[in-house]
Structure 1
Amino acid sequence: MSLLELKDINVYYGAIHALKGISLNVEEGQVVSLIGANGAGKTTTLRTISGLLRSKTGSISFMGKELRHESAESIVRLGISHCPEGRRVFADMSVKENLEMGAFTRKDKKEISQTMDMIYDHFPRLKERMNQMAGTLSGGEQQMLAMGRALMSKPKLLLLDEPSMGLAPILVKEIFNMVQEIHNMGTTVLLVEQNARMALAISDYAYVLETGHISLEGEAKSLAESEEVRKVYLGG
C-alpha cells in the first residue's frame, strides 16, 4: 500500500477543469516531484490533497484512509503538512510564534519544545532570529520558516509548494539541501517545483503535469535523461 494514492481526481474552478482525472502514488520514504509549466495543475493537486479544494470524483487515500471528505484540520492531524507557495508566514508574529502556530494540533508541551529544538538545529538561522518579526526576514529566511512551521506538526508527508520561487540562485541550492535534510529526517516529501533540474536531482520519482493531466511519469533519473523533458523543462 502506498503512503498516498490519488485515483481519478477531477477538480474545477467554476467552469474551468483544472485537474483532469489524475492518478499518482507516493511511497513512504520517497521524495516525489510534480513538475510542469505554470497553470499545469501542480499547486491545485497539493491543495486538493490537503483538503483546501475538493475533487468531484475518485479517491485520495493516505495510509489507507480516504481523505476526500475530511477537513483540512483533520488531514493535518492525520499526518500531512502543507508548506504553501509564497511562504505565507505570519508577518506580525515572531519566528518562534510562527513555529508554535505549526504545532496547533499537538498538546504535549515537552514534545513541542523538542520538535522546535530539532528545527532550530536544522535551521540555525531561525534560532538566531527567533524573536524577530517574520515579516522582516529575507525571502530565503521566510522560506526556511515556512518549512520549519510545516514540520512542527511532525508530519509523515510534507507537501512542499515551490520552495525556491523568487530566491537568488545561491539560496535555491541551500533550500534544496534543506529539502534533502528533511527527507533524511524520515519525512516523505511531495514536491512541486518549477526548477525541474533541481527537483529531479533530489527526487526518487516524478510526474510531469500538462494542462491538468499527467503526461509523463517515471524514476526521476530517467525523466532527467528523457529528451522530451530535457527539451521542454530543462532548457535542452
Structure 2
Amino acid sequence: MLKIDNINVYYGAIHALKGISVDVKEGEIVTLIGANGAGKSTILRTISGLLKPKTGEITFEGQNIAGKAAQDIVKMSISQVPEGRRVFANMTVMENLELGAYIRTDSKGIKEDFDQVFTRFPKLAERRSQLAGTMSGGEQQMLAMGRALMSRPRLLLLDEPSMGLAPLLVREIFSIVKDINASGTTVLLVEQNAHMALSIAHRAYVLETGRITLAGDAKELAASEDIRKAYLGG
C-alpha cells in the first residue's frame, strides 16, 4: 500500500533521514520505534507532505506522492494524527470533527462517520459542545483520532498517541487503534512506548539517528534481547 524507497530528508543543513526504506501492506499495523530524535516523526511528516524529501520515492497505492501538497495527500485517503494532538482549542468537539471531514461532500457518509466516532469514543459524544482546549489530554487524543477518521482514511498515520497519558488511558488508546485496524484501516504508528507498540503491531522498524537499524515481525523484535535492553527496560 505504502512504499518508501531510499528517502533522504534535511532540516536545513541537518540530515534527518538517511536512506530510509519502509513498506506498509494493506491491513497491517506497522510501528516505527526508536529514541527521541531518531527521525520517526519526520517520516510521518514527509509522507503527509509537510516535508519534502531531497531524494527518494514515496508511493501510495502505486502513485508517487513524494513532494505532493499536504491537502492533496489527505484527498488520497491518508490522514495523520499529529504528535501533541494539535486540536483546535477554541472550537468545540463537533467543530473539530467537522473540520476532519472538510474534503468530503457525502453528507450521508459524514453522518455515519460522526455516529461511528461517537460510538468508538463515547466521551466525545458527551462533550460534543465543549471547547476542545478545556478537555483532558486523553480526551484531546481521542478527539484528534476521531478528527482524522472523519476523512475516512485508508491509511492512518499516528504520531505518539500515548504521549503524556496515564497507563490506563494508554491501554484504552491502543485497544482503539487495534479496533480501527480491525475495521479496515491500515495504520503506521510512531510510538515512544515500544512495549505497547510492539504488542499490537504486525511488523516494526527500529530507527537510530535517521537510519533503520532493525526491521521484522513485531513479536520477534519484542522477544529480541537487544530490543529489550534498549527499549523495553531490560
Same fold by TM-score, threshold 0.5 exceeded?
A: yes
> How well do the aligned residues superpose, as a CA RMSD in angstroms?
0.5
Per-residue deviation, 1:69:
2.8
64-73 vs 190-199, greater mean Cα deviation? 64-73
Deviations 1:50-108 (A, max 9, x none): 00000011100000000013110000000100000000000010001000000011011
Task: Find the residue that maps to 1:96 and give its secondary structure.
Answer: helix
CA distance in 2, matches of 1:183, 1:68: 25
- The corresponding residue for 2:110 is 112
Structural mapping, 1:9-158, within 5 Å: 9-158=7-156
CA distance in 2, matches of 1:14, 1:92: 33
CA distance in 2, matches of 1:113, 1:32: 30
C-alpha contact 2:53 2:67 (8 A) present in aligned 1: no
C-alpha contact 2:65 2:73 (8 A) present in aligned 1: yes
Give the partner amino acid of 1:90. Answer: F
Which of 151, 163, 166 is matched with 1:165 structurally?
163
Per-residue deviation, 1:42:
0.3
- The corresponding residue for 1:195 is 193
Give the partner amino acid of 2:112. Answer: Q
Q: Say how many residue pairs are matched.
A: 234
Give the partner amino acid of 1:112. Answer: I
Runs ≥4 residues deviating over 3 A: none
Give the partner amino acid of 1:207. Answer: Y
Residue ranges of structure 2 left out of the alignment (5+ in a row): none
CA distance in 2, matches of 1:191, 1:108: 28
CA distance in 2, matches of 1:180, 1:124: 17
Which of 171, 177, 180 is matched with 2:178 structurally?
180
- The corresponding residue for 1:234 is 232
Task: Find the residue that maps to 1:18 and give its secondary structure.
Answer: strand
CA distance in 2, matches of 1:134, 1:185: 26
CA distance in 2, matches of 1:131, 1:69: 37
- The corresponding residue for 1:208 is 206
Q: Given the two structures, how large is their TM-score scaled by the length of structure 1?
A: 0.98
Residue ranges of structure 1 left out of the alignment (5+ in a row): none
